[in-house]
Structure 1
């Protein structure tokens, strides 16, 4: 399945999840990345940037002048992201922005020439193994680190529990793998791909923890989660509809806690040896 076949995310959904994404991303991996960033200026490619939430989270946490190159296939999202990017780094240095519209399956090392970092958020799980390997190969050839956040891992926890939780989770995970996408296997597939291309790989948990104060996000997530499960297994039908009504009522009452498990990945390329540089 090509990246161009993956359903587009609406700006409203991306905006709704931004706060939870920001709270979940791993500061530990960012700290480990710091010494491996080359610049100035830092040249950062944001793949599948959406409305630019990764840039809004990461750019103010980095020092020195930065050039952000935002990649997406949706021109409207690119425009939104470019307008809303921060203009100053943590030390006041200037941030500049460029956009690149296109299909990530065509990403190559030449695209990343001079890059300090490749980053993305909530992207890996909607790619095929071949597309993940293409990103890993391009980063390896360009000797560029990658910080890839918020890939689903196929686990959710809802409190209080319901007898249908496991069945909905299983059907949703199967839906995520439709058409050969990596879905909840993204971390295993990406870790193996980057390691195969010589990178040192670290991962870190980055869960959404949704309580009463996140009722709007929880409700929208529930609708999408159950809807995808039913799309994959239509026979769930009326039972899933009743389940969704119960869960939505609990979320509206502030009586539902949801943990949606994700992981972040940091891939650091192998340092070039003197022999390789000669």
Structure 2
């Protein structure tokens, strides 16, 4: 699955405001004696995670950007190469089969809004790879399956349930975690031998372009999952187009106990 750079750009400020600064402080303390830092960003998109995190970590950094979309990799490399004290390289390809050896030499593994696209087995394998490589993982903005629209109405829950079912759909024989990702990630890292801390990281959206675009995609996925909702969708979108929204996510920091 790939994402349009326009959508990634539209959501970048909301992502930045939502991510947990508290977990970054724990990362800084964990990596305090490591300089330069090597950071592997999985599913990097246009590089928004790097642009958000690099300045917060400070010091000299080398980012290895992973994505399956060469266009996004090019955009991420160009923007991140402009950051002070940051060097960049890119890796194109599938992220679902990474092993500990692939993460060798990394001081931190990151991702943003990625875990819902993995399966349970892939999540377990990623946790094992991070722990066996003795590298902390900061995984942000995993969808939690809960939204709050203001003012609320009964159809909100109907569309939410259909959307969540869509996120758990089977794609090419793979059942995606969707909103089960935060719990699955915590379970996987604990089982692999890491200490885990989570923080909520909700989008808090006023009426505007991002809210409308998110709502259109949210309703569209719900209708794809439950075609019977199609008759309600247009009028529902019209009514909700000026609503404010809280879209719940979870950030997770996993630190192998040997680190």
How high is the TM-score relative to the length of structure 1? 0.89
Pair 1:224 & 2:211 matched: no
Pair 1:267 & 2:254 matched: yes
Pair 1:106 & 2:97 matched: yes
Deviations 1:17-47 (A, max 9, x none): 0000000000011111112226221000000
**Counterpart for residue 29 of structure 1:** 23
Q: Alpha carbon RMSD of aligned pairs, Å?
A: 1.1
Which deviates more from structure 2 when the two are superposed, residues 238-247 or residues 24-33?
238-247
Q: Is the 8 A contact 2:128 2:192 kept in 1?
A: yes
How far has the Cα of 1:88 moved from its partner?
A: 4.3
**Counterpart for residue 241 of structure 1:** 234
**Counterpart for residue 203 of structure 1:** 198
How far has the Cα of 1:106 moved from its partner?
A: 2.1
Larger radius of gyration: 1
Pair 1:52 & 2:39 matched: no
1:74-223 to 2 correspondences below 5 Å = 74-85=69-80, 87-88=82-83, 94-179=85-170, 180-212=175-207, 215-223=208-216
Determine helix, strand or coil for the equivalent of 2:251.
strand
Q: Is the 8 A contact 1:169 1:229 kept in 2?
A: yes
- 58, 63, 71: which one aligns with 1:68: 63
CA distance in 1, matches of 2:65, 2:83: 17
CA distance in 2, matches of 1:78, 1:166: 36
How far has the Cα of 1:63 moved from its partner?
A: 2.0
CA distance in 2, matches of 1:99, 1:105: 17
Q: Which runs of 5+ in 1 are unaligned?
A: 1-6, 273-278
CA distance in 2, matches of 1:105, 1:210: 31
CA distance in 1, matches of 2:122, 2:27: 23
CA distance in 1, matches of 2:126, 2:216: 31
How high is the TM-score relative to the length of structure 2? 0.95
Deviations 1:32-71 (A, max 9, x none): 1112226221000000000000000000111221000000
Q: Which runs of 5+ in 2 are unaligned?
A: none
Q: Is the 8 A contact 1:66 1:95 kept in 2?
A: yes
